[in-house]
Amino acid sequence: MLKATIGPVQAVSLYVGAVVGSGVLLVPGLAAEIAGPASLLAWVLVSFLVVPPVLTLGMLSARYPDAGGVAAFVRTAFGRSAGAVVGWFFLLSVPMGAPIVAVTAAAYVGAALPLGGAGQAGAAVVILAAVLATNLLGMRLAGGVQVLVVAAVVGVIVFTVGGALPKIEAANFAPFAPHGWPAVGQAAAVMFWCFIGWEAVTHLSEEFVDPQRDVLRSVGLSLGVVSVLYFTVALSTVGTGSYGGESGSYAALAVMMRDLVGPAAGAVTGVTAFLICIAAANAYVGGAARVALALARAGAAPRFLGRMDAVRSVPVGGLCFVGTGAAVFLGLLLTGRVTVAELILFPNATFVAIYLGGSLAGIRLLRDTGWGVRTAWMSLAATAAVYVFLGRAALLPLTVVLAWGFFTFFKGRWFYFKARLAR
């Protein structure tokens, strides 16, 4: 059994750490380049757009706390097979996503320190190993580390934005929509990825000390913190003109840091990016290990994925699976066999499919609360609209569904023939 060790402070830290990833370093400047100052309207729009999916997952977590997270909700609503498919969506995503986070963090560290290519590769390996080791030592320690990491990240962002806000000039807001109003929609599509991450912490809901009280409270507070962080960074980026040029669109926060702290900006940016990436990877790896545990419990995954360290209450089987897969994909990235741009499309596709599954589960399981089911319907509409823009990567969730179908069919035939032979 998993022990209940997560309180409200740790919960908020896990949520914020999972959602405020590298997007806060990249997307505000990129969105400003796409839509100009009008991108601020897109930030407001997307902040409201993500409320239904986030609340839907929060309500389901409070009502059905389970290490399986969204997969458990879907299993309760639609049966074992549907839940297993959603669980595998998440479980397969994290070994692909964690190496991307490690490489991103290592690149920023490399920008702060003269590491070179080999040094950055070594830093990526160390970062991934540190995340796995932290989770291996138990959720109490991982949650405590998360509180410190997220506090440091928020502190750096507040420091940078606080220094940048007095430098905002009205001239930087004109023209307001230099690329036309359709560009606002394009910017909003980019921003949606900044808010993916809420599903990761649903897998930890079983370890909340009081899920009925703390989950929705933590979700609401975290959503407010995340929205304010993103908008203030975006406002500072536009108001100070810290985007465009050679690198500003992809490192707007770094540009503001440089103007604020001078030559030390590289080190500050590197440390900030490192902490942000560690926080995100920590939440996702912990969540994926618990998905593996839940799948094994349900007989939808090999038994070794359900192995537990009873002393530390750690799902070691799931961590070994995630660690092995992450090591393989990290090797592919570091050897140049696949690029980050190519790899990132696939976990993105499965994460959107997870939100679709959670929305459908909410429609069925929250029927006794009128506002709950309406929220789930709005969540479904929002995530379905995003799925349309995934391109070829949208085929990955469909492939997982087909693979599960073939597996269950041949498994059923095997038991049938086995029973016939036993007669």
Over the stretch 350-365, which tens digit does the pLDDT of each residue have? 888 888 999 999 999 9
Q: What confidence tens digit (pLDDT) does each residue in 32-80 have? A: 888 888 889 988 888 888 888 888 887 887 778 776 678 888 989 998 8
In-domain check, residue 119: yes
CA distance 72 to 82: 9
In-domain check, residue 243: yes
Nearest to 189 by CA among 383, 398, 29, 18: 383
CA distance 395 to 274: 32
Please provide the distance, in angstroms rounded to a whole number, between the alpha carbons at the two ends of the chain.
39
pTM: 0.71
In-domain check, residue 416: no
Residue tagged 């291996």 (tokens): 136
For residue 393 the two structure tokens come to 């990567």
pLDDT recorded at residue 419: 61
In-domain check, residue 396: no
Contact 140, 312 (CB under 8 A): no
pLDDT recorded at residue 199: 66
Structural domain for 217, as ranges: 8-341
Number of CB atoms found within 10 A of residue 409's CB: 10
In-domain check, residue 376: no
CA atoms within 13 A on the CB side of 54: 26
CA atoms within 13 A on the CB side of 27: 24
pLDDT, average across residues 17-31? 71
β strands within 26-137, DSSP E:
none
Based on the structure, what is the number of domains in the chain? 1
> Which amino acid is residue 390, in one-letter code?
L
In-domain check, residue 420: no
**Between 340 and 82, whose confidence is greater?**
82
pLDDT recorded at residue 387: 78
Residue 4 CA from chain centroid, whole number: 23
Contact 219, 9 (CB under 8 A): no
| CATH number for the domain harbouring residue 168 | 1.20.1740.10
In-domain check, residue 410: no
Cis amide bond preceding 175, omega within 30: yes
Backbone angles phi, psi at 314, to 5 degrees: -120, 130
CA distance 100 to 339: 9
In-domain check, residue 36: yes
